[in-house]
Amino acid sequence: MPLAVLVNADLVTQPKYSIVRAGLAPLSCLLAQADDGSHVVGLLGTRDADVAPSAGGNIVGFADGMTVILDGSAVAGDAIYLSGTVAGAGTNVAPSIKVLLGIAYFVMNVGGTYYASLIQAGFIPQVPVPAPNSTANTFSSDVVGNKQDDENGDSVYSKGYRTDRHDHSAAQVYPTLAAGINVTKSATPWTLGAFAVLVPTGTITSPFDVHGINFDDVPANGVYEIVLYAGPNGSEVEVGRVRFTRTSANDVELESPFQSPIISANSQVKVKLAGSNATATVVTISIRYHVY
């Protein structure tokens, strides 16, 4: 049972901070802060079972959580204490003598009066699973996420999804079963040349990231810097760059590791090239990528 309290027998005369019961079984149990039955405020819950008798009354377990009227306002997630100023009410402002009632699970405003449904501190309720890719940040379930969260979310599940897809989705290449894409370096050393379209719009139909650039043909010696961009014409955004070197002693073309952010499905990818030599070298490239 999530909660057990000492329950006094009736509402007639109660000590401060006591729990009282009212009605026939199953009993509703109320919170009384003052020593007057008229000040009894706040439903704790419905009796689940008597655990054991005692001189002061019964120990009662509750099947339902506590709902209290608030001295002021609160939001879900607040710690709610017994008010030091309003008999029987709760407050999210810790008084000098702290009696923690629980954590606000749901707060309702009725005509300017706030009511809070509480759970015990440390108790994990059966809260609803958030919507896919929810941005809520109130309950632990919001942090954990939904099993339908994907690369667009920010939950723990979403982060795990991105890591799994990044590391374990099948590698793909573009172009595939075809010659690579030519990109021309500027003849001015260390100046980027003109854009070349590497991946046309609508070609890769899932979100993806680039893991490697293969240099299919590099005909001239030099140090090169290649830059990838994603987005429509006129709104290209850089998604990464890498350097590679060709020397006369190393004439074997290679793949360079590369890391881009996740690129939206159907995005166009363009490329520019710069280098150390003063030749408008044409380099042929292709990419390795993974989808999400």
Please state the domain extents for the chain. Answer: 3-119, 127-168, 172-291
> CA torsion 118→121→127→132, rounded to 10°?
120
Q: Inform me whether the pLDDT recorded for 71 exceeds 70.
A: yes
CATH architecture observed for domain 172-291: Sandwich (2.60)
Three-state SS annotation for 207-228: CEEEEEEEEEECCCCEEEEEEE
Q: What count of Cα atoms within 13 Å lies in the side-chain half-sphere of residue 241? A: 12
CB 44 within 8 A of CB 94: no
> pTM above the 0.75 mark?
no
**What pLDDT digit, counting tens, does each position of 208-247 carry?**
999 999 999 999 999 999 999 999 999 999 999 999 998 8
Please give the Cα distance from 182 to 199 (Å, whole number). 12
Q: Which of helix, strand or coil describes residue 267?
A: coil
> CA torsion 110→114→119→125, rounded to 10°?
40
**What pLDDT digit, counting tens, does each position of 125-159 carry?**
566 789 999 999 977 889 999 999 999 999 999 99
Query: What percentage of the chain exceeds 70 in pLDDT?
Result: 73
Task: Check residue 171 and report its DSSP letter.
Answer: P
